[in-house]
Amino acid sequence: MKNSLSLGALMLGTALLLSGCATSVSAEPATDQGPAAELRLGYFDNVTHAAALVGLQNDFFEDALGDTTLSSQIFSAGPSAVEALSAGAIDAAYIGPSPAVNTFVQSGGQSAVIVAGAASGGAALVVRDGIDTPGDLAGTTLATPQLGNTQDVALRSWLGDEGYETSTIGGGDVTVSPGDNAQTLTLFQSGKIDGAWLPEPWVSRLVLEGGGHVLVNEADLWDNGDFPTTVLLVRKAFLEEHPDTVSALLEGHVTAMDWLTQNPAEAGAAINAKLKTDTGKALADDVLARALTEVTFNVDPLASTFPVSLAEAVTAGLAKDGDLNGLFNVALLNAVLVKNAEEPVSADGLGTE
């Protein structure tokens, strides 16, 4: 078993590091300009992004933001979201750990900072019948959401630990084929791929709608099963220019997180309502119920997991080394938590708290 500082937050793959995901930003701190006129928020239509789904569906963000206009944009995976953040097209995003760390390291700590956690758990490798052990994977094709996203890197790292070679351009002992999650489900159902390492609800959809079974639950690779799946990332310049707006966003975030944990019977309906608005189709009740049992909603970003994850990624040749000091700024989150009589979270020496 891996120790608690392990796979889930592994960094982006070598191909992405060479593709210019770094952000061109000034090292000069921005000046507080007061509340922003608009906040542009990115998120995915995944159960692991339930805080965003519920926050938007129940107007928790809009209520907290007051006169600041909220707009939102849907992404399918982290690398595309972080590209939008890096380009200044969005101001904040619910995102997986790997692209969050990648943009921070590539920019020398100037692009963005993690201001809160959102979800842990809810990622797994689902495979077809006939694959019962890691040794059965030789020659197979496995999918992930996008090249270099958190699950893509986690799969490649795990395969490396099992003795398999992979390539970011295809081939290897096991072929890793990144693609859209909905297309992955179709390919799996038709037998054109052998499995996929995905977040919820896609794990549950491959199991219940695709007839697959879980070969690796990522939680089993961590002590206590705790690993970050989703964090809230904010452009550093936006945080410096509009700290009051980020604080308001975090008030909405904490409200959404508290609501999710305090209203489990209603959570599924709210998540499904937003998914139907976004995609035109709600999840099947059994899929949503299974997915929700696999995900834990937690504002703690689990900062202590990130340094070992980076070290593992560097050893595997999937990331360049870098200083993670300053990756987290949870001071505004902690102010909201203390105001709500909730326990503050730790940056574990990697930023402001």
**Structure tokens, 175:** 């072929």
Provide the pLDDT for residue 124. 98
C-beta of residue 158 within 8 angstroms of C-beta of residue 312: no
The reported pLDDT for the residue numbered 150 is 87
Locate all alpha helices (DSSP H) within the chain, ordered by sequence. Answer: 14-18, 50-57, 60-65, 78-86, 97-106, 150-161, 181-189, 202-208, 236-241, 243-262, 264-279, 285-294, 306-315, 331-339
User: For residues 274 and 229, what is the distance between their CA atoms, to the nearest angstrom?
Assistant: 20
Q: Per residue of the chain (353 residues), give pLDDT as tens.
A: 344 333 333 333 333 333 334 444 445 667 889 999 999 999 999 999 999 999 999 999 999 999 999 999 999 988 899 999 999 999 999 999 988 988 999 899 999 999 999 999 999 999 999 999 999 999 999 999 988 888 988 999 899 999 999 988 878 999 999 999 999 999 999 999 999 999 999 999 999 999 999 999 999 998 888 899 999 999 999 999 999 999 999 999 999 999 999 999 999 999 999 999 999 999 999 999 999 999 999 999 999 998 877 776 666 566 778 999 999 999 999 999 999 999 999 999 999 99
**Among 329, 328, 330, 311, which Cα is nearest to 320's?**
311
Q: By C-alpha distance, which of 101, 66, 87, 56 is closest to 231?
A: 101
| Residue of 46, 50, 60 whose CA lies nearest to 260 | 50
Rounded Cα–Cα distance for residues 20 and 293 (Å): 37
pLDDT at residue 5 in the model: 33
Q: What is the pLDDT of residue 28?
A: 60
Tokens of 126: 């689902």
Give the 3-state secondary structure of residue 237: helix
Closest CA to 113 of 198, 3, 29: 29
Q: Which residue(s) pair with 329 in the sheet?
A: 352
The pTM of the full predicted model, rounded to 2 decimals, is: 0.89
Taking a C-beta distance cutoff of 8 angstroms, is the pair 237, 27 a contact? Answer: no
pLDDT of residue 128: 98
Between the CA of residue 34 and those of 57, 252, 352, what are the distances in Å?
A: 27, 18, 20
